[in-house]
Amino acid sequence: MYEKFEKRAEEILCTLTLKEKIGQLNQVPQPVAGNLEETKERIRRGEIGSFILCNSPTAGNEEQQAVMVDLLNELQKVAVEESRTGIPLLYGRDVIHGHHTVYPIGLAAACSFDPELVKKCYHCIAKEAASESVHWTFSPMIDVCHEPRWGRIIEGQGEDPYLASRMAEAMVKGFQGEDLTADDSMLACAKHYVGYGASEGGRDYFRTEISDYTLFNSILPPFRAAVKAGVATVMSSFNDINGQPVTSSKKYLTDILRGELGFEGFVVSDWTAVHQLMKQGVARNSADCARLALTAGLDMEMTDNHYIANLENLVLSGEISEEVVDLAVKRVLKIKIAKGLFEKPYKEPYKVDRTEHIKLSEKIAAESMVLVKNEDNLLPLSKDMKVALYGPFTYERRALQGSWALDGYLGASTPNFLEAMNEVMAGQKGHIHHSYEGVLHDDCTYIFSQNDVIVLALGESHAATGEARCSADIVLAPNQVEMARKAKQSGKKVVGVIFCGRPLALENIEPYLDAILIAWHGGTRCAHAAAKTIFGEYNPCGKTSVTFVRKTGQIPLYYNITKSGRNVDGYYGEGYAQNYIDSLGSPMYPFGYGLSYTSFEYSAPEVDKATISLDGLLAGENVRVAAKIKNTGERTGKETVQLYIRDHVASCMRPIRELKGFEKIELAAGEEKEVVFNVGAESLGFYNFENKYVVEKGHIDLFIGENCLTNNLVTIEIV
């Protein structure tokens, strides 16, 4: 994909001095007042190749300067017209899941199980950010994760490699579009390569132990999908794997990323990840940092200044060859050429009409919401009802945008839940009663007696999630649990709307809530999506992209586990010995789970062949497996039909369930539809202990169902 720019990159490279080459590998934070002239001088000398448009290492939850388009054009002019090389600057920013219009956090968007919708949303994000001169986003974050204590689980697409892979390719294509030089396209960045989501204990920036077997089967697939989708850049991760920092690992950055996955773009470090090699104890000094990272295959250094300070001497002293520098520089130049920066270095800012973007923001927020409990079909509420609305998220705006929403418009642009509920109820017979403090007082007993139902707006602050925001206990705040207890005591039905980032442990509040809607940090129109869902304007169809544990102590708990020798696979039911003496081993809500206001019935799956030859599979033949799904309720609804496999006996232990396909369908009441999956070698194999993809003979169960616990199966044999 980017190799076609090799020749032009080579021609530019030949004109550069060693210093100017190294400048292309140097990314610095956007200039702040006071060092502008000095910055311009550095650009003139060819010492800077890229700016990161933020000025703090954990931009996710801290105020960042807005994108200053005029300044960016001013600096670009210096680079193009006043430096000897004339090479344009590359501007990157954390435009993670929205720009001025914010979409649900990655973990929530994945619950939509709708890659096409996600792709449309991410194209809108690119339109908004690119219109302000942002060439490159440090997104999508595609770290597979089983660790809800880790604040950054919210950024990825959950625990499953297949779902995360479909989302990764949708996000990359959404950002990059069909033409990277187009005005509404942005370079994407698959991050954090690799294994960051396995941080031990859910502690950020921490160590990981990842076997190649797990890496190849569970963690690499979304990166493989992103590379196949043409992702222009990859960001190296902070963590070490089995004692080897990724940032200085040739194995991960070159042998696997380029040799195995075929990545052709360039690798940028995470913020000061190169510097951290000294703290991780593999580099003695700045020169070591630069040498180790560059020779491992890390092309551009984010904000550390080790490259610019050391690479020239390292080359002149013969410690590293200039060819290593040339390789990295050409990779960067190829992406700048691919982006069309040489032809169009300046951006005339233009106003983007956000009307459609806002509509899509509400649509995907609604499709991401997961109805996990609905006792006696309490929801949807009638608009004739008198509703007592309480809770800390009644008035919340910023948290609804989630972490990493650097440029999200706030104020009235992000309606709060009270405004949304009042809007939905406007002109209706019912009413919304709320307490200005949003906190229940003892005197609520009377208020409750005057209302039909209680709705609690609960949740987790955005600032309790994201980077460097890990929790040792992932429960809702005690005052929220107490609020639910009091509400339940009133004898009225209680609805919990939970605006969260992580999949919180809800066992201590669940008994007080008759219905629970996981609304997530769903972006600009999250409040309206939630309000319209509880009143039935939207029929919830989200499915969990990650397991919800009962208690923090169950972590890690995820669905695609291998079978234990003694049936202690609590996930699939308490077995021979329970996992814990003080807790059930099963999840509160499993992967792929979500209720609807209607109901669906699945026929037993049927295959077109009960056996298939291994040779036939490897030659591209497949098995057609199908099931009929019927809407047995009274209203139209969407259902994500999921295909799982189970390889009972193989040369390596295989998971009890593996998601290998899904199709989201909409059915009217009474309507039935057949869903078909064509299952080939790419779905029936795995990477063995030699990191080789193999398909083996034997029996394979094919499941078609509504979540990972389905037992709706048919068995085939590979012969």
CA distances from 530 to 468, 482, 557 (A): 28, 23, 28
- Whether residue 194 is preceded by a cis peptide bond, meaning omega within 30 degrees of 0, is yes
Residue 460 sits in the site that holds ligand GLC (CB under 6 A): no
Tell me how far, at minimum, the Cβ of 417 lies from ligand GLC, in Å.
29
Residue 53 sits in the site that holds ligand GLC (CB under 6 A): no
Tell me how far, at minimum, the Cβ of 607 lies from ligand GLC, in Å.
43
- 521: closest CA among 467, 465, 473? 465
User: What is the distance between the alpha carbons of residues 335 and 74, in angstroms, rounded to a whole number?
Assistant: 22
Only segment of 53-61, 179-187, 476-484, 573-581 that touches ligand GLC (CB under 6 A)? 53-61
Cβ distance to ligand GLC smaller for residue 143 or 569: 143
Tell me how far, at minimum, the Cβ of 54 lies from ligand GLC, in Å.
5
Of 51, 271, 571, 589, which one interacts with ligand GLC (CB under 6 A)?
Answer: 271
Only segment of 57-65, 251-259, 661-669, 700-708 that touches ligand GLC (CB under 6 A)? 57-65
Amino acid, single-letter form, for residue 235 = M
Cβ distance to ligand GLC smaller for residue 159 or 467: 467
Contact 99, 53 (CB under 8 A): no
Tell me how far, at minimum, the Cβ of 470 lies from ligand GLC, in Å.
13
Tell me how far, at minimum, the Cβ of 526 lies from ligand GLC, in Å.
22
- Residue whose token pair is 């092309």: 299
The C-alpha torsion from 426 through 429 and 434 to 440, rounded to 10°, is: -150
Provide the sign of the torsion angle of the four alpha carbons 64, 68, 73, 75, taken in this order: negative
Tell me how far, at minimum, the Cβ of 57 lies from ligand GLC, in Å.
5
Cβ distance to ligand GLC smaller for residue 191 or 462: 191
Residue 191 sits in the site that holds ligand GLC (CB under 6 A): yes
Residue 54 sits in the site that holds ligand GLC (CB under 6 A): yes
Cβ distance to ligand GLC smaller for residue 198 or 440: 198
Residue 270 sits in the site that holds ligand GLC (CB under 6 A): yes
Residue 301 sits in the site that holds ligand GLC (CB under 6 A): no
Of 16, 22, 25, 59, which one interacts with ligand GLC (CB under 6 A)?
Answer: 59
Q: Parallel, antiparallel, or unpaired for β 233-236 and 189-193?
A: parallel
- 139: closest CA among 114, 109, 116, 162? 109
Residue 138 sits in the site that holds ligand GLC (CB under 6 A): yes
User: What is the distance between the alpha carbons of residues 420 and 365, in angstroms, rounded to a whole number?
Assistant: 14
Cβ distance to ligand GLC smaller for residue 47 or 270: 270
- 557: closest CA among 495, 520, 507, 497? 507
Q: Residue 617 carries which DSSP code? A: H
Residue 673 sits at φ, ψ, to 5 deg, of: -145, 145
How many residues of this chain bind ligand GLC (CB under 6 A)?
A: 11
Tell me how far, at minimum, the Cβ of 272 lies from ligand GLC, in Å.
8
Residue 263 sits in the site that holds ligand GLC (CB under 6 A): no
Contact 237, 189 (CB under 8 A): no
Tell me how far, at minimum, the Cβ of 545 lies from ligand GLC, in Å.
19
User: What is the distance between the alpha carbons of residues 70 and 83, in angstroms, rounded to a whole number?
Assistant: 19
- 702: closest CA among 610, 625, 648? 625
| Residue with smallest beta-carbon separation from ligand GLC | 138
Residue 58 sits in the site that holds ligand GLC (CB under 6 A): yes
Only segment of 51-59, 81-89, 478-486, 525-533 that touches ligand GLC (CB under 6 A)? 51-59
Cβ distance to ligand GLC smaller for residue 191 or 373: 191
Tell me how far, at minimum, the Cβ of 249 lies from ligand GLC, in Å.
17
Instruction: Fill in the per-residue mask, 495 to 524: x = in contact with ligand GLC (CB under 6 A), - = not in contact.
Output: ------------------------------
Candidate list 114, 143, 160, 270, residue with the active-site label: 270
Residue 143 sits in the site that holds ligand GLC (CB under 6 A): no
Q: Which of residues 61-100 bind ligand GLC (CB under 6 A)?
A: 94
Contact 499, 521 (CB under 8 A): yes
Q: Under 8 Å CB-to-CB from 37, ≥6 apart: which residues?
A: none
Cβ distance to ligand GLC smaller for residue 96 or 641: 96
DSSP string, 70-114: HHHHHHHHIIIIISSS-PPPEEEE---SBSSSB---HHHHGGG--
Only segment of 54-62, 415-423, 490-498, 668-676 that touches ligand GLC (CB under 6 A)? 54-62
Only segment of 11-19, 56-64, 498-506, 698-706 that touches ligand GLC (CB under 6 A)? 56-64
Q: Parallel, antiparallel, or unpaired for β 637-647 and 686-687?
A: unpaired
Q: Parallel, antiparallel, or unpaired for β 637-647 and 698-705?
A: antiparallel
Contact 55, 45 (CB under 8 A): no
Residue 240 sits in the site that holds ligand GLC (CB under 6 A): no
Q: Rounded to the nearest 5 degrees, what angle is found at the Cα of 461, between the Cα atoms of 494 and 165?
A: 95
Provide the sign of the torsion angle of the four alpha carbons 56, 57, 63, 67, taken in this order: positive
Of 1, 6, 44, 57, which one interacts with ligand GLC (CB under 6 A)?
Answer: 57
Instruction: Clarify whether 240 is annotated catalytic.
Output: no
Tokens of 169: 């390719």
Q: Under 8 Å CB-to-CB from 346, ≥6 apart: which residues?
A: 73, 76, 77
Tell me how far, at minimum, the Cβ of 65 lies from ligand GLC, in Å.
13
User: What is the distance between the alpha carbons of residues 319 and 445, in angstroms, rounded to a whole number?
Assistant: 77
> Which stretches of the chain bind ligand GLC, using CB under 6 A?
52, 54, 57-59, 94, 138, 191, 270-271, 467
Enzyme catalytic residues = 270
